[in-house]
Amino acid sequence: MAESTFLDASELVLNMGPQHPSTHGVLRVILKLDGEKVLGTECVIGYLHRGVEKIGENRTYVQFAPYVDRMDYVSAVANGLGYCLAVEKLLNATAPPRAEVTRVILTEFNRISSHLLWLGTHAIDMGATTPLFYTFREREEILKIFENYCGARLTTHAFRIGGLQYELYDGFEEQVRTFCAAFDRHVDEYEELLTHNRIWMGRLKGVGVLTADECKEYGVTGPVLRASGVRWDLRKAMPYSGYERYDFDIPTGANGDSYDRYLVRMAEMRQSLRIIKQAVEAIPKGPIMAKVPKVIKPPAGEVYVSTESPKGELGYFLVSDGTVHPYRVRVRPPSFVNLQALDRMVRGALVADVVAIIGTIDIVLGEVDR
């Protein structure tokens, strides 16, 4: 945005963030306003930039694994899965079936917990305090499973290159089944509170519309893309970790507005639950670690491996020069790419809508800035 446009007397420039609660972290949005109407925005990002890609070049493949958890810190398991798959691809190795199924269960749990966190905080943004208490109740159960499994709740580092470090703990299946038995009803509870709530619908319907073509133009992926009616999910399009073995649907929306993005995420939680239910009944016996060398030293080459993280397509582009350090680690962050479409979505909307739109893109600044 050119500096001179700010000087027009009828226009007001307003800073939203970086310390604004509804920006979900340290995002600063410079809004150009005409009264309540948004004429344009500019995102100022980078407050959380830690140079993850540079760190990757200065660590070994194994040492770098815990760092990726700190990008999208609410879905650390999904980040870890993508990284492990990318290095395994370089090594031309695959995790054994038992590890794959465990990975799927934990990753889908992570998708649910990420969506639950999103739902609770987004509802607060919209003025509904209650849902947070419900969603965090269930999220807590998921975090307990993570904690029981690997000792950590958020930045889990649950997977290792080649499989898993830890065997499943006693009672894992039971705990998962207990969660699954109750969760569908809990999603009904959230929906009862929100889906037909007049205020909720008034705040979200028709707000921040992004068409399918616009999504493709910007490279937007994940629930935002699906809410615009594109039935595309990497778990189906390019299955990894044995996702082709599970029976699940890709929920889509029709209008591409904030309300559809909400509905898509609600439906996705139910689908994740379906996957978990199938997976937990089919955990094969066997080793949990593939035969990968003690010192990970992939042959020289480049790969791009991407997975469907809760936010969208999370890709890792790795360049190996045959040493123990990656020559280049590039992370294709879904939040960063999706956030770019914010400007298109908020033009013509009201200031209050900006909060709804930022919320339903579902960004995590740790991943935007890396």
Under the rule (CB under 8 A), what is the footprint of other proteins? 45-46, 49, 51, 53-55, 57-58, 89-90, 92, 216-220, 230, 232, 237-238, 299, 301-304, 306, 313, 315, 317, 319, 327-328, 330, 332, 336-337, 340-341, 369-370
C-beta closer to other proteins: residue 105 or 364: 364
Distance CA 2, CA 313 (A): 32
CA 82 from chain centre, in angstroms, equals 12
Determine how many CB atoms are found less than 10 A away from the CB of residue 304.
12
C-beta closer to other proteins: residue 92 or 130: 92
Nearest C-alpha neighbor of 172 from the set 158, 157, 188: 158
Least CB distance to other proteins at residue 303 (A): 6
C-beta closer to other proteins: residue 190 or 232: 232
Least CB distance to other proteins at residue 43 (A): 9
C-beta closer to other proteins: residue 216 or 347: 216
Least CB distance to other proteins at residue 332 (A): 4
Least CB distance to other proteins at residue 288 (A): 24
Least CB distance to other proteins at residue 196 (A): 33
C-beta closer to other proteins: residue 175 or 340: 340
Least CB distance to other proteins at residue 285 (A): 29
C-beta closer to other proteins: residue 54 or 144: 54
Burial class (CB in 10 A: 0-12, 13-18, 19+), 279: buried
Sheet of 12-16, strands arranged across: 12-16, 28-34, 37-44
Tokens of 149: 């499994």
Peptide bond into 284 cis (omega under 30): no
Burial class (CB in 10 A: 0-12, 13-18, 19+), 210: buried
C-beta closer to other proteins: residue 234 or 267: 234
Least CB distance to other proteins at residue 164 (A): 23
First to last CA, the chain: 25
- List phi, psi (to 5°) of 270: -65, -40
Give SS3 for 319: strand
C-beta closer to other proteins: residue 107 or 221: 221
Please name the residue that has the structure tokens 């420039």.
13
C-beta closer to other proteins: residue 120 or 326: 326
Least CB distance to other proteins at residue 343 (A): 10
Least CB distance to other proteins at residue 105 (A): 26
* Residue 350 near residue 11 (C-beta atoms within 8 A): no
Nearest C-alpha neighbor of 345 from the set 362, 364, 361, 332: 361
* Residue 11 near residue 1 (C-beta atoms within 8 A): no
Determine how many CB atoms are found less than 10 A away from the CB of residue 62.
14
C-beta closer to other proteins: residue 176 or 230: 230
Nearest C-alpha neighbor of 144 from the set 170, 115, 114, 176: 176
* Residue 109 near residue 77 (C-beta atoms within 8 A): yes
Least CB distance to other proteins at residue 368 (A): 9
CA-based torsion, 69, 268, 173, 285: positive or negative: negative
